[in-house]
Amino acid sequence: MKSVFPLITLLAALAAAPALAADYTASQDSTLGFRATYMDDRFEGRFADFTPAIRFDPADLPSSRFDVRIALSSASTDNQERDELLVGPEFFNAGALPEARYQADRFTALGGSRFRADGRLTLNGVSKPVALEFDWTPGTPAVLEGRASLERLAFKVGEGDWADTDLLPNKVEVFTRLELQPKP
């Protein structure tokens, strides 16, 4: 009986240990998009094809990770002419560099359900820091709603005639809403 007691104690301690950050998969209802302005006309676009690998636990931020892969050719603004231009060489250059990637491994609690992910966005062969502020709502599904701001010219988006920031401002807003289920 004495040899079983330490084993039971160990199992009980492991069961009471804090959970590790959970891995999540995103549902088909998740969105990733952007907002910009062209000649004072605000427009919104979305990426139909993106794959987020999310590991997150508000109580274990050091173990949290985001790795999001974005198929640039899936960008759509519901305007065929603009969409063809966006995936072309002067903007996303999807033919030569078909994927963008956002990776974050540093997280900060901002209070309540708000957090910031400090990561790097790689787009058009350029990798730069981008902070994503987000709200986290636990549950089934867990919901992550985030926003970031970036300067498109730093990523070679909108070069040539499109580099004129009076016509097309440099600032682009990025937004996401992920509905997340724990991986089995």
Q: What is the pLDDT of residues 22-61, one digit of tens each?
A: 999 999 999 999 999 999 999 999 999 999 999 999 999 9
Q: How far is CA 117 from CA 7, 58, 79, 181, in A?
A: 40, 12, 32, 20
Q: Any idea what the CATH number is for the domain that residue 167 is in? A: 2.40.128.110
What pLDDT is stored for residue 152 in this prediction?
98
How many other CB atoms sit within 10 Å of the CB of residue 142?
Answer: 17
Residue 2 lies in a domain: no
Size (the chain), residues: 184
Helices and strands: H and E segment counts in the chain: 2, 11
DSSP 8-state assignment for residue 78: S
Residue 173 lies in a domain: yes
Cβ atoms of residues 120 and 105 within 8 Å: no
Residue 14 lies in a domain: no
Residue 84 lies in a domain: yes
Residue 176 lies in a domain: yes
Q: Can you say how many angstroms the Cα of residue 23 is from the centroid of all Cα atoms in its chain?
A: 15
Q: How many domains are contained in the chain? A: 1
Beta strands in 65-113, from DSSP E residues, in sequence order: 65-71, 75-76, 99-111
Which pLDDT band, with edges at 50, 70 and 90, does 20 fall under? Answer: low
Helices (DSSP H) in the chain: which residue ranges? 4-16, 80-87
The tokens for 118 are: 């400090």
19 against 63, higher pLDDT:
63
The tokens for 69 are: 């892969």
pLDDT tens string 89-116: 999 999 999 999 999 999 999 999 999 9
Q: How far is CA 13 from CA 10, 16, 17, 21, 57, in A?
A: 5, 5, 6, 18, 20
Residue 1 lies in a domain: no
Residue 51 lies in a domain: yes
What pLDDT is stored for residue 6 in this prediction?
39
Cβ atoms of residues 131 and 117 within 8 Å: yes
**What's this model's pTM, rounded to 2 decimal places?**
0.87
Cα 177 from Cα 143, distance rounded (Å): 7
Mean pLDDT confidence for 157-177: 96
Range of 112's domain? 20-182
Residue 115 lies in a domain: yes
The tokens for 135 are: 């709200």
| Rg of the chain, C-alpha, whole Å | 20
